[in-house]
Structure formats: C-alpha cells, structure tokens
Amino acid sequence: MTPTSERNVTGTSFTRGLGIVTVLGIGLLIVLGLFVSPADVNQGESVRIMYAHVPGAWLAYLAFIVTGVSSAAYLWNRTRSLTWDRIAGASAEVGVLFMGISLVTGSLWGRITWGTYWTWDARLTTTAFLFVTYVGYLAVRGLGGSHHQRARRSAVLALLAVLEIPLVHFSVRLWNTLHQEASVAGRGTDVTMDGLMLFSLFLGVIVFTLMYVWLVLHRQRALALQDMVEDFGLDAALAARRAEEVV
Amino acid sequence: MDDLGFILGSYIVTFGSIALYVASVVKRSRRAGRVVSREQRPWT
C-alpha cells in the first residue's frame, strides 16, 4: 500500500483496540448518564451534566500535568528528546479541548442551578485563566524556529503554567465560592452519593482517560509526521541551494 | 423535563467537540502521511 492511499496513518493494533473499547465506553456512559442513573434529591435531572463535566475537568488537569512532566523531561539533559516535546504539545491540545468542554458544560449546569451561565466566582475565574494560559501555550508552540527552539520555549512556559493547577483546584477552599467542593475526593472520606451515580461518574472518568490516551497517542504521532514533513522541506531547500552553487 | 435542552446540549457539546477534534487529527495526520513513508514512522 502506498502512503497516498493510507487511511490509518498514526494507528497501531493497540490504538485500534483502545479506540474500540473507548467508543463502547462512551456508549455505555451516555446510556447510564442520560437514562439509567437516578435524578439527584437536590439538583434533580441536571445532575446528569456531572457525568460529562467532572471527567472533562479531571482530564484537563491530567493533561496539563502530563504536559508539565513531559516538558521537564525534555529540559533535563539526560532525557532530552523531541518525543517529550510532542507528548507535551499533544497533551496540552487535548487538555484545552477538555477544559473547554468542562467550561461549557459547567456554564450550562450553572444556568440551571445558579440561574446564570457565568459569574466571576473564584473557581470559574481561575479555570478560565488556566484555559487561556494553555491556549497561549499552544500559540507559543506555533511560533517559528527550529524544533528544539519550539521545544525549549514551550517547555519553560509549561512549567510555569502547571503551577496554576493547585490554585484552580483549591480555589473552592481558599475563597467563598458558588462552586461546590469535590463530591467524591473532597475533605473527609464519606461519600454520600448514590451507588449508580458514583458508578456512572467513575465510568466517565475511566472512559475519558482512555479517550485521552488514544487522542494523545495519535496527536503526538501526527506531530512527529508534521516535523518530518518540515525537515523534508528544509532538506529539499538545502539540496536545491547546493545544486545552484555547483552550477 | 424542564432542563432537557441544557442536559442534551452538554452531551452534544462534549461528544460533538471530541468528534470534531478526532476528525481534525485524522485529517492532519493523513496529509502528513502522504509525504512520510511507512518505513520512516517509528511506531510501524
């Protein structure tokens, strides 16, 4: 098969299997979240938004932490490799997607429970700030220069940006906010959530995590391909210049 | 159900945006894959 006719450029048997499991998990999550899990005593049917909102926020945290760790791995001389930089970039891109999802679903949930789509609450404001920071990170990655120049400057930015995550997470404790504290992993060990609701929430977190791994694997491979294409272009330009000099 | 629009909207936004992102990743990798042969890809 020639490269021009390929459909599955970045896939392997592992990612194909992972993709199938993820799609099945998404189907189960939608059925459980929309139809099977019970309504909440206080929030009614609106609690169904939780199964998309909370995993989205969790995945954004995870993605940005992976970006920070990969960036540190790139900056460390012993593990310096552009693969780390590409993982950082792919993870940040996926993190921005999930953070955006979390902001929008949270806004829709807020409209039902608080009566407004948006308020300058500490959690909402810090989350929006984190989102904008990583959009900026992606913009910095798109600036010109060699692959290593891109990797160095974006790694430094990622190590600064990751410091915002504790601020976002603990904002509900540091300030008086409308946003509730964590329902499951909050202070104390008592979880008062219904069993099926808790199962649906955990399923959401697992499915979103699998989806994250699938997306990052494909995206970082796509970034590697894009880097190779740029290198080929550069090599061709250098060869043309050398040919002109010889003539 | 009064809030049905908001609930369905949140699921449509979530899985719709993920589907769009997946489509864009596949499109970008196929474009780059036309130039890079299978032998040059470390994961194959």
The mean predicted confidence, pLDDT, of chain A is 89
Q: Is A127 part of a structural domain of the chain? A: yes
* Number of domains within chain A: 1
Q: Is residue A58 part of a domain?
A: yes
The ipTM assigned to this model is: 0.91
Q: Assign 3-class secondary structure to chain A.
A: CCHHHCCCCCCCHHHHHHHHHHHHHHHHHHHHHHHHCCCECCCEHHHHHHHHHHHHHHHHHHHHHHHHHHHHHHHCHHHCCHHHHHHHHHHHHHHHHHHHHHHHHHHHHHHHHCCCCCCCCHHHHHHHHHHHHHHHHHHHHCCCCCHHHHHHHHHHHHHHHCCHHHHHHHHHHHCCCCCCCCCCCCCCCCCCCCHHHHHHHHHHHHHHHHHHHHHHHHHHHHHHHHHHHHHHHHHHHHHHHHHHHHC
Domain membership of residue A235 (yes or no) is no
Q: How far apart are CA A182 and CA A222, in angstroms?
A: 36
Whether residue A100 is contained in a domain is answered as yes
The CA distance from B13 to the nearest CA of chain A, in Å, is 7
What are the tens digits of pLDDT across the range A122-168?
899 999 999 999 999 999 999 988 999 999 999 999 999 999 999 99
Measured CA to CA, the distance from residue A112 to residue B44 in angstroms comes to: 49
**pLDDT tens, position by position, B1-44:** 678 999 999 999 999 999 999 999 999 888 888 878 777 777 77
Contact A221 B43 (CB under 8 A): yes
**pLDDT value of position A244:** 77
**What confidence category does residue A179 fall into, taking pLDDT thresholds of 50, 70 and 90?**
confident
Residue A9 inside a domain? The answer is no
Domain hosting A132: range is: 50-182+194-228
pLDDT of residue A1: 43
DSSP single-letter state for residue B40: G
Q: What is the arithmetic mean of pLDDT over A68-90?
A: 94
> Among A24, A48, A59, A212, which would you mutate to test the B interface (most chain B Cβ atoms within 10 Å of its Cβ)?
A48
pLDDT for the residue A247: 63
Q: Taking residues A23-29, what's their average pLDDT? A: 97
Statement: residue A188 has pLDDT above 70: no
Q: Does residue A189 form part of some domain?
A: no
Q: Using an 8 Å CB-CB cutoff, list chain B residues near A215.
A: 21-22, 25
Question: What is the structure's pLDDT at A178?
Answer: 74
Give the gap in angstroms from C-alpha B20 to the nearest C-alpha of chain A. 10
Which chain A residue's Cα is nearest to B7?
A49
- Residue A156 belongs to some domain of the structure: yes
> Is the residue at A73 inside a domain?
yes
B20 CB neighbours in chain A (<8 A) are: none
pLDDT of residue A184: 63
Higher pLDDT, A180 or A97: A97
pLDDT, position A2: 44
Q: What does pTM read for this prediction?
A: 0.89
B9 DSSP assignment: H
Q: Do A134 and A64 touch, CB atoms closer than 8 A?
A: yes
For tokens 């069993």, name the residue: A195
Q: Do B3 and A44 touch (CB under 8 A)?
A: yes
pLDDT band at A189 (very low <50, low <70, confident <90, very high): low
- The beta-carbon neighbor of A222 closest among B9, B18, B25 is B25
Judge contact between A74 and A81, C-beta under 8 A: yes
pLDDT band at A4 (very low <50, low <70, confident <90, very high): very low
Task: Please count the other Cβ atoms lying within 10 Å of the Cβ belonging to residue A245.
Answer: 7
Distance CA A88, CA A66 (A): 7
